[in-house]
Amino acid sequence: MKRIDLENDIRPLSEFRANTASLVRQVKKTGRPLVLTQHGKSTVVLLDVSHYQSLLASLDHQRSGDDSGDASAGA
């Protein structure tokens, strides 16, 4: 996943509501997540589904590695 571009990838929720389709296209095209803000604070991150699945797979892989390390340490 590409890093967030702080100038282009942080937007207010009101702008997302007004331009949902184009901002979703931006996320899919650039591969970068979009941070949405509410009252000036980050609220939610919009992430392309393939990148989200990749993150979950990486997390599962790390967790399974941690589990096998715990089992061998206890033996």
**Which pLDDT tens digit goes with each residue over 19-72?**
999 999 999 999 999 999 999 999 999 999 999 999 999 999 999 987 655 555
At 4 the pLDDT is: 86
27 versus 73: which is more confidently predicted?
A: 27
User: What is the pTM (predicted TM-score) of this model?
Assistant: 0.76
Q: Do residues 28 and 48 touch, judged by C-beta distance below 8 A?
A: yes
At 75 the pLDDT is: 47
3-state secondary structure of 3: coil
Residue type, 17: R
Domains and CATH numbers, the chain: 10-70 (3.40.1620.10)
| The pLDDT of residue 6 is above 60 | yes
At 24 the pLDDT is: 97
